[in-house]
Structure 1
Amino acid sequence: MTLCRQQRFPGTRSSVRAARQFAGDTLGQWGIADRGDDIRFCTSELAANAVLHGVPNGRDFRVRLLWEEDLVRVEVRDSGPGLPVTGRPEVDAVSGRGLWLVSELADEFGVVDQLVGKTVWARFRCSTIRPGARHLPGQG
């Protein structure tokens, strides 16, 4: 069974925190006990990049989480032009570490160029399920 939850957020800085909270709440509802910190952190980084570089003024972005068997996939979709650049940042760089950290923490990481915008995703292998968790079918 695949579970999916998604939510749209305005292209504002406060949405980064809201996206991280959405991811944490979703993981809690699904009963995923391990990798939660990594998933919340990566959701924050992907959302921050969407807000800072991907969302045109007045537009929003979407965060979607999917869980199937032992994999959680986080996707952040925005409608802005261009694709993110990843790579190891220079030692003295003051920015550019976010996507590198995501690529290091996630088991898989990628970008899908869309007709309008892009989807940046990260996938995490999760093996621990919290006892007594409620799995809520039909979340969307």
Structure 2
Amino acid sequence: MSSVRQQRFPRARPSVAAARWFAGDAFAGWGIRERWFEMRLCASELAANAVLHGAPPGRDFQVRLTREPHRLLIEVRDSGPGLPVLQCPAPDAPAGRGLWLVRAVADGFGVLDEPVGKTVWAAFAV
């Protein structure tokens, strides 16, 4: 049986921390302790991308967490155009590594092109 928690957040920098806390509270409520830090990191990075690159000004983004029997899915959806691209930043670049981190620590990662916007997801075996 699956459990779902979802919440909308405004396109604002404080929403990144709020999304991270929302995810951490949900994981704790589901009794998930293993890989808790990595899951919160992914929720935070995906939320940061929605704030910085995805959600248009004045629009929200949504974080959806799904707990399945053997998997946890983190999805962040925004209504902005375009799809995220994995970058290869220079070693001294101050940004551009978020999706690389997500891909490195999650068991699965992908992007769904939606009729309006996109959903970026990360999955973890639990």
C-alpha offsets along residues 15-70 of structure 1, whole Å, 9 cap, x if unaligned? 00000000000001110110110010110000000000011111000000001112
Query: Which segments of 5 or more consecutive residues in structure 2 lack a partner in the other structure?
Result: none
After superposing on structure 2, the runs of 4+ consecutive aligned residues of structure 1 that deviate more than 6 Å are none
- Give the whole-Å Cα distance in 1 for the aligned partners of 2:88 and 2:69: 31
Matched residue SS, 1:86: coil
Question: Would the aligned equivalents of 1:89 and 1:100 in 2 still touch at CA under 8 Å?
Answer: no
Larger Rg: 1
Q: CA RMSD in A?
A: 0.9
Higher relative contact order (CA 8 A, sep 6+): 1
- Give the whole-Å Cα distance in 1 for the aligned partners of 2:89 and 2:103: 12
Q: Which amino acid aligns with 2:91?
A: V
TM-score (norm 2): 0.97
Between Structure 1 and Structure 2, how many residues are aligned?
A: 126
Shift of 1:94: 2.0
TM-score (norm 1): 0.87
Q: Which amino acid aligns with 2:41?
A: F
State percent identity of aligned pairs: 62
Question: Would the aligned equivalents of 1:46 and 1:120 in 2 still touch at CA under 8 Å?
Answer: yes
